[in-house]
Amino acid sequence: MSKPTPKTRGRKPPRGSFVTFEGTEGAGKSTLIAAFADLLRSRGRETVTTREPGGSSVAEKIRAVILNEPMHPWTEAFLYEAARAEHLNQTIRPALERGAIVLCDRFTDSTLAYQGAARGLDWNTLRRLNDIATDGLKPKLTVFVDIDPGRGLRDAKDPNRFEAEGVAFQTKVRKGFLRAMREEPKRFVKVTARSGTPETMAAELLGKIGRRIGVEAKTGAKR
């Protein structure tokens, strides 16, 4: 972490827009993020794409541990949160302070869905941990890319240990995302996975959320 910031809560929110993408395995989040980033850049907006776990040097090291070795569910939860604190301070917050749009592949809702709904850890404790790791910084918007869990898993090549848990696990994960959506409906936008090409889906998404992130859907760039 760059500097310890014990008293940052209540700090002015940074200027940029923070958008996260969530979903079960095989929803095509990363392709949609890449196409959406191209579209935003073509409108003249600095756009940073990043992912969790990872997105900074230390967090990528933590990622290699989490994804490859079995461990106690709380160890897993704390490692995700540790990676998140680092990622937020090293990558996300600086980009938002420059005024960039940050598109992040997975964030706090994945902890609720995977460690909470699927692994069975206490949902509200995880919410508190998320809040501590992010210092209260929340995404402006979260795009939930919904797919039938069976369909998503069929296409997973070289499955990581979460994908290897199968459809029952992914179904619990999906329920977790739906619960998170119900709890904060204003933050979420739901899109149907693979409902078009990445480019048409990106254009549709811009139509849905452009105004909220300060970008006109049709022409020109707006701040």
Cβ at position 128, least distance to ligand TYD in Å:
14
Cβ at position 131, least distance to ligand TYD in Å:
14
Cβ at position 105, least distance to ligand TYD in Å:
6
Helix (H, G, I), strand (E, B) or coil at 142: strand
Q: Report, in angstroms and rounded to the nearest whole number, the Rg of the chain calculated over CA atoms.
A: 17
Shortest-Cβ-distance residue relative to ligand TYD:
114
Residue with smaller CB distance to ligand TYD, 82 or 189: 82
Residue with smaller CB distance to ligand TYD, 45 or 81: 81
Cβ at position 48, least distance to ligand TYD in Å:
17
Cβ at position 160, least distance to ligand TYD in Å:
5
Residue with smaller CB distance to ligand TYD, 30 or 99: 30
- Distance CA(143)–CA(192), nearest Å, equals 10
- Distance CA(179)–CA(102), nearest Å, equals 24
Q: Which residues bind ligand TYD (CB under 6 A)?
A: 25, 52-53, 67, 80, 105-106, 110-111, 114-115, 160, 162
Cβ at position 22, least distance to ligand TYD in Å:
9
CB atoms within 10 A of CB 206: 19
Q: Are 93 and 130 in contact (CB under 8 A)?
A: no
| 114 Cβ neighbours under 8 A, 6+ residues apart | 162, 173, 176
Residue 150 to residues 17, 24, 26, 127, 156, Cα–Cα distance (Å): 33, 10, 9, 28, 10
Cβ at position 184, least distance to ligand TYD in Å:
16
Residue with smaller CB distance to ligand TYD, 144 or 162: 162
Residue with smaller CB distance to ligand TYD, 64 or 67: 67
Residue 91 to residues 17, 51, 134, 201, Cα–Cα distance (Å): 13, 10, 12, 26
Question: From start to end of the chain, where are the E strands?
Answer: 17-22, 47-51, 101-105, 141-146, 188-192
Residue with smaller CB distance to ligand TYD, 16 or 28: 28
Residue with smaller CB distance to ligand TYD, 49 or 110: 110
